[in-house]
């Protein structure tokens, strides 16, 4: 194993056996399939996918909580199945919306307790709690019982819990879930600084917020239905769409529209409809600009009215639409 | 409208309680679990008795303690069934807040959630009684049983226990989740005072008034009288009282206990809202 | 300047084990301090419950030493309760609350976590046991006749080691359990009181019954303690104190080793089946 690789997976797969009630036979649910990933030390790597794509399953496997059904995974050079103890010395994890910790303990006490499980001396732990709470913005709430915290503050406490142990590899599973815009921005800024501080640190982040992935990650893997569909830097992923023309068309369509007629036009790679009470929007990826005229013809045939038409640069969202066929929140 | 809310609260909570209580395993395993605990609990008393009396199961004392213990199983079952719902919904399922904001009658919802435990408790009582009648010479004569008295006493007693359960639910609302079931613990404590397994005369004089103040004491006596009247008569505690007297005292003490329970539940309920404890997680 | 200085040294091995035990016992100790309703329900009420069994013996005219048997049995129950509710089934709550996953991914040993939970609860347990012993003895005039103080200490210590070993062993099973955890815990109350002779000399279960009951270290510990502190104890004892000490040593070793093995094994099994983080409720 190369020393420069922090996380490596080969043919990684996981099948869950589930049933709805005791009388039913177990059904197999494929959560991950042949996942090959190689994440370098120092990388901030993003896993991008909709709910149920397999992101959390992958994190569970990498954090030694779940065994893979097929393939192997190594973290910090150690096999997660064969040497979980070695892996555990080097990792930590924070999940969005988690309810861990003890309600009757204060924030400081909860954090101190978790630091003990990593062999961090009390003085060091307390110094770090103080420093990290200042950075994350809960230093004034350290003596509040965690049962009295709001969702956002609780999540900030969890984030500190993940960073306090100074892990070589940190897993953040939807870390900004439940945080407001400002707090999410603070967390993203902190993550960036944390990574810049030390080139040895590796961070795997799962998210379904495209902007978060785009802003933070060195590389991104797009995952859907257990499969990795693409893996590259955000800019390279976006470049794959540079040949195509991406349009965002705002329409007046009081009685709806027939989306399939747009999809069937030759040269339309993908077409996604978003309907909100105030507007109807078509996100269209075309082979080339010239196809636009046929789109406009179809719009007038369906008696729709264009309110706004915009050609824009490709975003990760467009990459996702191209690969999965729908927007992340609809997938 | 009010009636329909109350009825719906009770019925849907009963259904929910039963689903939670029973659907984790197959019926056979469920029955096994439900049988072993009560039989072991009776077994302890049977062995204690048989060691000292050289297995003299014909003595009325044995029937007294056996039947008292058998029916007493309703006490922890109903008290826990109702009061534990607060912990279960608040800290485990985290749904208590949603129950509170729904158009639900909370006490009736809690009673409904207790129904499942009442049913499993009934199963335990029946099994214990059957074991006693079949294997341990506990006297039972179908013809001699005063069924009307039995049914009336049983129903009154269960209602009384439900109200006591509500009181404990109130206390649970303002306390943390500890490692024990408050209903079981309180039931095990009251075991001492209610003449369940020995006549009240055995207790020191200064403790007896507690027993006389508790409706459970009269309830157990009524159940014994209705099932095995001649055995109950051999113990002097309530010989001066007729069945009707006992029913009236049971009614009166239950009424007082019920009023206290409702008052305290409302007080705790108010306090829990005031202190923001409805959705608290108190694990430690 | 770095955002946060890197940690130069993290403890491992025995030091980490001790830190973990203390770390996990802390919430229990502090929690009990902050929420004191347990004092009434966990100390005072059990005293009443034990008294009920004393009065049963009084009602049927048992020899006075039996009252002492109940008091000692009631005191020892506290330790079993600690194992059952503060250690084994607590794991179920930890899983539901999301803490179990964090314990597993940490380098801390599961045995240390479990010991921490038990040790944190031990304060209440000791209070309960001592309260039952002192008040029980005073109220019911229990007279003791201690034969060997040292043997008594040895028996008590060995029982505790074996008992907590057994507790950790059974806790491993709770890693796999969801709702059935409640039922298993319930099964381990009255049936265990019966099998371990909590309120009567275990000898009365017959040889094979007592031998089976002796798999629970409480049984032999209790039997030996009764032999060592009551006049009629030796005549009502199951085996001689010496044999019981040897048996407890063997049980301690077996249970501790088995606990370590089982915890590791079941953790692997739970990882394979995805049960460490599941929430079947």
pLDDT digits (tens, 9 = 90+) for A98-144: 788 898 899 999 999 999 999 999 999 999 999 999 988 899 999 99
Distance CA A240, CA C45 (A): 72
| Confidence check: pLDDT of A22 > 80 | no
The answer to whether B277 touches C37, Cβ cutoff 8 Å, is: no
User: B282, A147: Cβ pair inside 8 Å?
Assistant: yes
Angle between helices C13-34 and C110-139 (to 10 degrees): 50
User: A66, C277: Cβ pair inside 8 Å?
Assistant: yes
Residue B35 touches partner A, C-beta closer than 8 Å: no
**Mean pLDDT, rounded, for C189-206:** 93
**Mean pLDDT, rounded, for C183-197:** 87
pLDDT, residue C239, reads 92
pLDDT, residue C59, reads 92
Dihedral sign for Cα atoms in the order B239, B244, B250, B252: negative
Give CATH for domain A5-238. Answer: 3.40.50.300
Question: In this structure, what is the dihedral angle of CA atoms A163, A165, A171, A172, given to the nearest 10 degrees?
Answer: -30
Residue B284 touches partner A, C-beta closer than 8 Å: yes
pLDDT, residue C17, reads 96
Q: How far is CA C196 from CA A304, B22, B188, C252, in A?
A: 82, 29, 19, 17
Residue of A21, A22, A99 lying closest to B281 (CB–CB): A99
User: A103, B26: Cβ pair inside 8 Å?
Assistant: no
Chains contacting C (3 or more CB pairs within 8 Å): A, B
Dihedral sign for Cα atoms in the order B24, B29, B35, B37: negative
Which residues make up the CATH 3.30.70.260 domain(s) of chain A?
Answer: 243-313
User: C45, B171: Cβ pair inside 8 Å?
Assistant: no
Residue C243 touches partner B, C-beta closer than 8 Å: no
pLDDT, tens only, A285-301: 888 888 889 999 999 98
The answer to whether A295 touches A311, Cβ cutoff 8 Å, is: no
Smallest CA–CA separation between B202 and chain C, in Å? 6
Give percent of chain C with pLDDT exceeding 90.
55
> Residue A290 contacts by C-beta under 8 Å, 6 or more apart in sequence?
A267
The answer to whether A13 touches A73, Cβ cutoff 8 Å, is: no
User: A99, C10: Cβ pair inside 8 Å?
Assistant: no
Closest alpha carbon to A58 in A226, A225, A212: A226
Residue A154: HSE in the Cβ half-sphere, 13 Å Cα cutoff: 20
User: B282, A105: Cβ pair inside 8 Å?
Assistant: no
Range of the domain at B81: 2-274
| Confidence check: pLDDT of B34 > 80 | no
pLDDT, residue C172, reads 84
Distance CA A139, CA A131 (A): 8
Least confident of B260-264, C72-76, C173-177: C173-177
User: B52, C199: Cβ pair inside 8 Å?
Assistant: no
Dihedral sign for Cα atoms in the order C169, C175, C176, C177: positive
Residue of A22, A99, A102 lying closest to B284 (CB–CB): A102
Q: Which residue has the higher pLDDT, A218 or C147?
A: A218
Mark which residues 76-95 of C lie under 8 Å from B by CB: 81, 85-86, 90, 93
In a domain, B131, yes or no: yes
**pTM greater than the 0.90 cutoff:** no
Closest alpha carbon to B89 in B102, B73, B75, B74: B102
Mark which residues 3-42 of A lie under 8 Å from B by CB: 21-22
Per the structure, the count of domains in chain B is: 1
Which residues make up the CATH 3.40.50.300 domain(s) of chain A?
Answer: 5-238
Distance CA A192, CA A125 (A): 22
| Confidence check: pLDDT of A187 > 90 | no
| Confidence check: pLDDT of B176 > 90 | no
Q: Which residue, among C34, C48, C205, would best test binding to B if mutated, counting the most B CBs under 10 Å from its CB?
A: C48
> Residue A154 contacts by C-beta under 8 Å, 6 or more apart in sequence?
A99, A101, A146
pLDDT, residue C178, reads 67
Residue A143 parent element (H or E): none
Please state which architecture CATH assigns to domain A243-313: 2-Layer Sandwich (3.30)
Residue B29 touches partner A, C-beta closer than 8 Å: no
Residue C273 touches partner B, C-beta closer than 8 Å: no
Name every chain A residue with its beta carbon within 8 A of the beta carbon of C35.
104
Distance CA C119, CA C18 (A): 12
**Mean pLDDT, rounded, for B235-241:** 87
In a domain, B279, yes or no: no
User: Sorting pLDDT into bands at 50, 70 and 90, what band is C1?
Assistant: low
Residue of A21, A22, A104 lying closest to B282 (CB–CB): A104
Residue for token pair 């045939």: A301
User: B72-101 burial, b for 16+ CB within 10 Å, e for fewer?
Assistant: bbbbbbbbbbbbbbbbbbbbbbeebeebbe
Q: Which residue has the higher pLDDT, A88 or C268?
A: A88
Residue B26 touches partner A, C-beta closer than 8 Å: yes
Name every chain B residue with its beta carbon within 8 A of the beta carbon of C201.
51
Residue A94 parent element (H or E): strand A91-95
| Confidence check: pLDDT of C281 > 70 | no
């Amino acid at each position: 194993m190369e020393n420069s690789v922090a996380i490596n997976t080969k043919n990684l797969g996981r099948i869950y056996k589930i049933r709805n009630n005791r009388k039913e036979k177990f059904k197999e649910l494929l959560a991950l399939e042949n996942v090959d990933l190689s994440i370098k030390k120092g990388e901030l790597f993003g896993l991008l996918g909709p709910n149920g794509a397999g992101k959390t399953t992958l994190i569970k496997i990498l954090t030694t909580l779940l065994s893979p059904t097929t393939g192997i995974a190594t973290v910090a050079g150690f096999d997660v199945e064969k040497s979980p103890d070695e892996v555990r010395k080097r990792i930590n994890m924070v999940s969005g919306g988690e309810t861990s910790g003890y309600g009757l303990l204060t924030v400081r006490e909860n954090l101190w307790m978790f630091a003990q499980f990593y062999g961090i001396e009390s003085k060091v732990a307390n110094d770090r709690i103080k420093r990290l709470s200042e950075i994350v913005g809960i230093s004034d709430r350290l003596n509040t019982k965690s049962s009295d915290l709001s969702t956002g503050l609780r999540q900030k406490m969890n984030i500190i819990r993940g960073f306090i142990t100074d892990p070589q590899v940190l897993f953040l599973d939807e870390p900004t879930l439940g945080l407001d815009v400002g707090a999410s921005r603070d967390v993203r800024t902190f993550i960036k600084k944390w990574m810049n501080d030390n080139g040895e640190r590796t961070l795997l982040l799962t998210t379904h917020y495209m902007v978060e992935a785009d802003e933070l990650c060195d590389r991104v893997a797009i995952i859907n239905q257990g499969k990795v569909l693409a893996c590259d830097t955000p800019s390279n992923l976006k470049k794959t769409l540079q040949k195509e023309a991406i349009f965002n068309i705002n329409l007046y369509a009081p009685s709806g529209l027939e989306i399939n007629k747009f999809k069937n036009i030759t040269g339309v790679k993908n077409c996604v409809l978003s309907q909100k009470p105030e507007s109807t929007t078509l996100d269209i990826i075309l082979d080339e600009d010239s196809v636009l005229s046929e789109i406009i013809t179809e719009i007038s045939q369906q008696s729709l009215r264009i309110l706004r038409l915009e050609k824009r640069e490709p975003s990760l969202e467009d990459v996702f639409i191209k690969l999965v066929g729908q927007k992340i929140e609809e997938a | 409208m009010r009636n329909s809310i109350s009825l719906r609260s009770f019925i849907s909570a009963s259904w929910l309680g039963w689903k939670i209580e029973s659907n984790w395993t197959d019926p056979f395993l469920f029955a096994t679990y439900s049988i072993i605990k009560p039989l072991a609990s009776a077994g302890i008393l049977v062995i204690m008795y048989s060691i000292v009396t050289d297995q003299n199961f014909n003595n009325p004392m044995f029937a007294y303690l056996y039947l008292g213990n058998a029916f007493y199983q309703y006490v922890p079952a109903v008290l826990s069934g109702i009061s534990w719902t607060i912990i279960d919904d608040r800290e485990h399922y985290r749904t208590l807040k949603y129950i509170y904001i729904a158009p639900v009658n909370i006490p009736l919802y809690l009673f409904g959630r207790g129904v499942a435990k009442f049913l499993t408790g009934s199963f335990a009582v029946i099994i214990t009684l059957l074991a006693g009648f079949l294997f341990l010479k506990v006297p039972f004569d179908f013809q001699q049983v005063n069924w009307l008295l039995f049914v009336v006493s049983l129903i009154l007693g269960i209602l009384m226990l439900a109200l006591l359960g509500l009181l404990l639910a109130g206390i649970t609302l303002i306390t943390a989740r500890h490692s024990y079931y408050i209903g079981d613990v309180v039931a095990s404590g009251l075991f001492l005072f209610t003449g369940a397994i020995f006549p009240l005369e055995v207790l020191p004089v200064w403790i007896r008034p507690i027993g006389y103040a508790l409706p459970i004491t009269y309830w157990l006596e009524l159940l014994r009288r209705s099932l095995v009247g001649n055995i109950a008569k051999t113990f002097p505690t309530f010989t001066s009282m007729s069945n009707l007297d006992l029913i009236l005292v049971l009614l009166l003490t239950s009424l007082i206990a019920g009023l206290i329970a409702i008052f305290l539940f409302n007080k705790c309920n108010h306090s829990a809202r005031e202190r923001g404890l409805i959705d608290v997680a108190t694990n430690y | 300047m770095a955002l946060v200085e890197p940690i130069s040294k993290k403890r491992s091995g025995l030091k980490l084990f001790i830190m973990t035990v203390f770390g996990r016992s802390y919430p229990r100790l502090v929690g009990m301090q902050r929420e004191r309703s347990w004092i009434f329900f966990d100390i005072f009420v059990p005293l009443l419950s034990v008294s009920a069994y004393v009065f049963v013996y009084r009602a049927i005219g048992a020899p006075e030493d039996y009252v002492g048997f109940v008091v000692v049995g009631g005191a020892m129950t506290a330790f079993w309760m600690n194992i059952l509710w503060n250690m084994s089934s607590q794991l179920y709550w930890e899983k539901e609350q999301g803490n179990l996953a964090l314990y597993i991914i940490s380098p801390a040993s599961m045995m240390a976590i479990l010991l921490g939970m038990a040790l944190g609860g031990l304060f209440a347990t000791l209070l309960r046991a001592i309260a039952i012993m002192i008040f029980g003895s005073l109220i019911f005039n229990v007279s003791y006749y201690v034969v060997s103080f040292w043997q008594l200490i040895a028996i008590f210590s060995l029982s505790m080691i074996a008992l907590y070993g057994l507790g950790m062993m059974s806790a491993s099973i709770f890693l796999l359990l969801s709702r059935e955890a409640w039922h298993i815990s319930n099964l381990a109350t009255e049936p265990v009181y019966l099998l371990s002779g909590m309120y009567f000399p275990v000898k009365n279960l017959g040889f094979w019954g007592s031998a089976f009951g002796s798999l629970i270290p409480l049984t032999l510990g209790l039997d030996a303690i009764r032999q060592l502190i009551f006049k009629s104890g030796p005549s009502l004892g199951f085996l001689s104190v010496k044999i019981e000490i040897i048996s407890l040593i063997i049980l301690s070793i077996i249970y501790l080793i088995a606990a370590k093995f089982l915890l590791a094994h079941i953790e692997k099994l739970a990882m394979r089946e995805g049960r460490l983080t599941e929430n079947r409720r």
